[in-house]
Amino acid sequence: MDWRGILTGIKAAWRREISAYFATPLAYVFVAIFLLVLSVFTWDLSSFFDTGAADLGPFFYWHPWLFMLFMPALAMRLWADETNAGTAEILLSLPVSLPGLVIGKLLAAWTVAAFALILTFPWWITVNILGPADNAAIALTYCVSLIMAGSYLAIGSAVSALTRSAVLAFVIGVLIAFILTAAGWPLVSGAIANWLGAGAGDAVAQFSFLTHFETAQRGVLELRGLIFYFGFTALFVALNTLFVMQRRAGAQ
């Protein structure tokens, strides 16, 4: 494997996409809307100050559900817009590794997501002002949340490479993300358990982002959770690369 070519592709794609995000209002609008919606869900809908607890449980509770919408929106243009802008042929003809391009684009979107999460750190400080907080558990949940965001972004990026429409990529990405989130929702897993048995309900729940994130929210770091998220991201990166290879072969 040409690791040098992959690293070159990652660097080139990351720089290109980061410039595209921050040279336009796209990243700033995304971050602003994400923070606004997350603050409404945390402080208002969850009645944070009525809980009387110095923890960020109500804040982290909404992450999978909001990532389900916001991460496909952030990734939907990564490949679909290349065709619309007429730059796909130029990009795919560059003498760099395709996996590197795929990973670099994903990392750029992941960087924007990380930037949005970093801007929520004042809320962490607020919790410590309210009372003694379990900062180790909060730090762990932040890290797992960022890893989970990467999995959602990998879905959006792969779907973006499959279609030429960013809007269609968003819709399909949200649909896939919803299935993989709702599978761990007690309402869904309970219904499956009643229909097919408790074992089936538990098995389906294990394929949900929600299930593994809830474990991290309790301050527990499970190896299987990390394997799940990174494995899922790697799977969609591989699919993304395959879709881009097919696009390049069709253009030749």
Give the tens place of pLDDT for each residue, 170-197.
999 999 999 999 988 877 777 887 877 7
How many whole angstroms separate alpha carbon 227 and alpha carbon 147? 11
Q: Identify whether the C-beta of residue 72 lies closer than 8 Å to the C-beta of residue 149.
A: no
Q: Check residue 220 and give its pLDDT.
A: 84
Q: Identify whether the C-beta of residue 33 lies closer than 8 Å to the C-beta of residue 66.
A: no
Residue 56: phi and psi, rounded to 5, are -105, 25
**Which residues have CB under 8 Å from 7's CB, separation 6+?**
100
Whole-number mean pLDDT of the chain?
Answer: 86
Confidence of residue 64 (pLDDT cuts 50, 70, 90): very high
Q: Identify whether the C-beta of residue 63 lies closer than 8 Å to the C-beta of residue 34.
A: no
- The DSSP call for residue 185 is S
How many whole angstroms separate alpha carbon 146 and alpha carbon 251? 35
Which amino acid, residue 133?
A
**Which residues have CB under 8 Å from 89's CB, separation 6+?**
251
162, two tokens:
């499959």
How many whole angstroms separate alpha carbon 143 and alpha carbon 28? 22
How many whole angstroms separate alpha carbon 116 and alpha carbon 67? 12
52 or 151: whose pLDDT is higher?
A: 151
pLDDT digits (tens, 9 = 90+) for 113-132: 999 999 999 988 888 887 78
Question: Which of 118, 102, 84, 97 is closest to 14 using CA atoms?
Answer: 102
Q: Identify whether the C-beta of residue 115 lies closer than 8 Å to the C-beta of residue 18.
A: no
Residue tagged 């980061």 (tokens): 18
How many residues would you count in the chain?
Answer: 252
Q: Check residue 201 and give its pLDDT.
A: 76
Separation in Å, CA 2 to CA 90, 103, 235, 243: 21, 14, 20, 20
pTM passes above 0.85: yes
80, two tokens:
């679909």
Does residue 32 register a pLDDT over 90? yes
**Which residues have CB under 8 Å from 234's CB, separation 6+?**
none
Q: What is the mean pLDDT of residues 91-107?
A: 82
Could you tell me the end-to-end alpha-carbon distance of the chain, in angstroms, rounded to an integer?
A: 24
Q: What's the domain count of the chain? A: 1
211, two tokens:
């299930």
Domain that holds residue 42: 3-251
